[in-house]
Structure 1
């Protein structure tokens, strides 16, 4: 029986168009994770900015988004999913416009922070709307597969679009294209997605928790990128303080009891390590193809097309795989495929060839990403209801974002610390170790859960 009122009032013939609309905004959000990479040298030249400052144009977006996602998920549960989706889409559109018109680097970085805040509202709202609009496990897995596949494709499309737009138009248009498409989402969503019921906010929002969860990772990444031990220590203390606040506050962002659900807790922990490996592989492959294989920005973007094709193909099979072997075993298949791809990339030669040295590892990582992340998304939403769907979605998206950002900072720091391609190989090896550890942890958790009570 369907226990979600919002799903009951949505006519069946509107659910797929609504899913397409939710996925469109998520595609734009994902595009903006990678769309600035190729354009960074041009932006730095115009603003006369050093590389260290430019890095915040990339990491600031994902760190602020990831840090505020739990708050976004909680606000979604309290104030309404459609309301928060529309508010997040509007903030994302306005911030994109500000980024495209930015007169200097600080303004651009501030606009990127605001884009992240828009994502923090829109993404968990969209994910929880999907969970409620498609309450049956099989159809939910299929819907999340479509949403996740479009989102993942946005990461690849961002690289290609960045090269094309920067070369043929101007870097400012990498942000400008968001505005009309986000406006389209704002106009059509009220026609397809049912209105929220009346909401009475009876709980106070945990703003201290949101601040600590955002400031902690920002401090950690700053410490890693700038080799500042004090910032790393401060970031660790801020995250410890976050746990303490969540344990004592009356209305936490996410009750610690939320993680008492074994499947959801393990899924989120594994997501951190898998996202760290995937973000690192994506970033380092881009550098390897441009710096070592001497591919131009446009050719490097085109070189990711097989990645995108494999990802989309695999995603279409994930619901069937989940139905056949279950969510946990599907996640293990994804981790195994990712590990195989990383193992291949950990042997990148100093003078390699795309077809032999890059493509096989890229295909493995793409297949592992499609299978692993979608299975973990489904596991992270197991057992959710009307009262905590937004929180569950916010937690899953937050660990995905923060895991990817922190892992990227640490592993890219390793790569930069070693000379040349040697650093790339070391970073891929450490990413491989992380994924293997995640698989072992998932295996042990599944075995413990399956064991009879003693």
Structure 2
């Protein structure tokens, strides 16, 4: 089968959800008749990846008891995954462009399945942490390759919007279902099953993708820039590690400032190398395109806020309301249910509101839910406290997801499809790390200062959590305004059809 190509399009009207198909003027090839089946096969791994990002949360206390984790060591069950995935995604995206997207997807999905098995069978903290790093590496290889294959399979703009609506919807459902299933599996079976559950979908996806999706890669020979990719990866890992260190150390401590400073230096060296490179790792157009920048901004603000939300509310349920893991997990069922109406609303209103309106409205609705979360106290009930907040946050997430996926890959060529999706997913992982470190650390720091001032533990806990969630609310509101400001209609010549390079 001939290689699928997505042409770069003009951004004369980037906000229109009914814009002409990419490459229509040039006579795009007929779409692959198996594309919808292929979407289903690829989306299996996308669902599992987002499921795995949250499924471990409710199980953490049980894991700590069974494997003998310290409080600090337990954080690496989450942080190891974020560091590997966030640091290696851009490298994975570029490798998929150069070595073959189907090949890298299959390799990543297989690695994810094997790492899930070793995590489920872990007998000590070291084995589990190593498995989580391997899972993150598998995501870094599979996720950008999968998203780029979806972009290449669906060349019609309307079909692509629908495909990414399904894609984004399954991602959101996976994240919400992870918290739900974590409690159910931990209470009814054991924490080991939160890792077993992801293996069958990965295996099935690899087998189906080889039958349904053609291989694609960059047509011309290109220097692989692996040294630059590794330099970028090292810089991102160091920065994320420093930010995550703020959960246990002061912001001015060497444990925070040291890795952050080293990461910033590595990233500066990367930019200097790219400025002199004849074959840069990242084309400048990825950062100068207003349309794609809006997608990255939406991901940044949403992932930063919601990562803190999931972490803090899970702790609130179990530590303050004294929910069991099963009850805590089942309590997230309304979030999963409320996500779907948001997704339906987004797909039906996108032609009228455009991507700009969808992103701004969705982030504002999540902010409303976040504010309600910040008002929760030790005497709050599920029906009048948690449920309204969950419904708003989930509905808004469903509204944002499809538009964000389409806008972030707007005008990306066949040669850079894997890199484009890698940039978007890297933004997500780095933003989650930022939310878990910066926002949560500020809340915990405020809590400690209140305890030192003689405030009761219960009151200090509530006020620290409320401050963190209020900050998350502001982050989302700023994101809503930023999307309105960024995704304006520029003059036709405002952005070049072909990106310049660093």
Superposed, 1:279-358 pairs within 5 Å as: 279-358=307-386
CA gap of 1:9–1:192, structure 2 versus 1, over 3 A, is farther
State the match for 2:239 in structure 1. 216
**1:381 equivalent in alignment to 2:409:** yes
CA gap of 1:451–1:143, structure 2 versus 1, over 3 A, is closer
Q: Is the 8 A contact 1:278 1:369 kept in 2?
A: no
Q: Is the 8 A contact 1:223 1:230 kept in 2?
A: no
Q: Is the 8 A contact 1:97 1:175 kept in 2?
A: yes
CA gap of 1:374–1:225, structure 2 versus 1, over 3 A, is farther
Superposed, 1:225-304 pairs within 5 Å as: 225-227=248-250, 229-237=253-261, 238-249=263-274, 250=277, 251-304=279-332
Deviation string, structure 1 residues 246-280 (Cα, Å, up to 9, x no partner): 34232444234421111212321332122111111
State the match for 2:25 in structure 1. none
Once the two structures are TM-superposed, the CA of residue 48 in structure 1 deviates from its matched residue by: 1.6
Deviation string, structure 1 residues 11-35 (Cα, Å, up to 9, x no partner): 32x2111111111111111111111
State the match for 1:4 in structure 2. 4
State the match for 1:359 in structure 2. 387
State the match for 1:400 in structure 2. 428
Superposed, 1:35-114 pairs within 5 Å as: 35-114=55-134
CA gap of 1:111–1:3, structure 2 versus 1, over 3 A, is closer
Deviation string, structure 1 residues 317-357 (Cα, Å, up to 9, x no partner): 32222211111111001111111111222222331011111
Superposed, 1:412-427 pairs within 5 Å as: 412-417=440-445, 418=447, 419-427=460-468
Q: Is the 8 A contact 1:224 1:232 kept in 2?
A: no
- Counterpart CA distance in 1 for 2:246 and 2:436 is 13
- Counterpart CA distance in 1 for 2:66 and 2:373 is 34
Deviation string, structure 1 residues 106-138 (Cα, Å, up to 9, x no partner): 121111011001001111111111111112222
Unaligned runs of 5+ in 1: none
Unaligned runs of 5+ in 2: 7-27, 448-459, 495-502
State the match for 1:434 in structure 2. 475
Deviation string, structure 1 residues 215-246 (Cα, Å, up to 9, x no partner): 32123212443336223223332135314413
Structure ranking higher on relative contact order (CA contacts 8 Å, 6+ apart): 2
**1:160 equivalent in alignment to 2:184:** no
- Counterpart CA distance in 1 for 2:154 and 2:489 is 30
Once the two structures are TM-superposed, the CA of residue 95 in structure 1 deviates from its matched residue by: 1.0
**Normalised by the size of structure 2, how large is the TM-score?**
0.84
- Counterpart CA distance in 1 for 2:330 and 2:3 is 45
- Counterpart CA distance in 2 for 1:185 and 1:452 is 42
Deviation string, structure 1 residues 259-311 (Cα, Å, up to 9, x no partner): 11112123213321221111111222222222222221111111111111111
Among 121, 145, 150, which residue is 1:130 paired with? Answer: 150
- Counterpart CA distance in 2 for 1:452 and 1:19 is 34
- Counterpart CA distance in 2 for 1:243 and 1:323 is 41
CA gap of 1:281–1:382, structure 2 versus 1, over 3 A, is same
**Normalised by the size of structure 1, how large is the TM-score?**
0.93
Greater displacement, 248-257 / 426-435: 248-257
Once the two structures are TM-superposed, the CA of residue 70 in structure 1 deviates from its matched residue by: 0.9
- Counterpart CA distance in 1 for 2:415 and 2:317 is 47
- Counterpart CA distance in 1 for 2:492 and 2:485 is 11
Q: Is the 8 A contact 1:70 1:254 kept in 2?
A: no
Once the two structures are TM-superposed, the CA of residue 451 in structure 1 deviates from its matched residue by: 12
Once the two structures are TM-superposed, the CA of residue 424 in structure 1 deviates from its matched residue by: 1.5
- Counterpart CA distance in 1 for 2:115 and 2:486 is 42
Deviation string, structure 1 residues 3-60 (Cα, Å, up to 9, x no partner): 9349958632x21111111111111111111111122122111222112111110122
Among 163, 188, 193, which residue is 2:208 paired with? Answer: 188
Greater displacement, 182-191 / 395-404: 182-191
Aligned residues: 451
RMSD: 2.4
Once the two structures are TM-superposed, the CA of residue 416 in structure 1 deviates from its matched residue by: 2.4
Q: Is the 8 A contact 1:79 1:201 kept in 2?
A: no
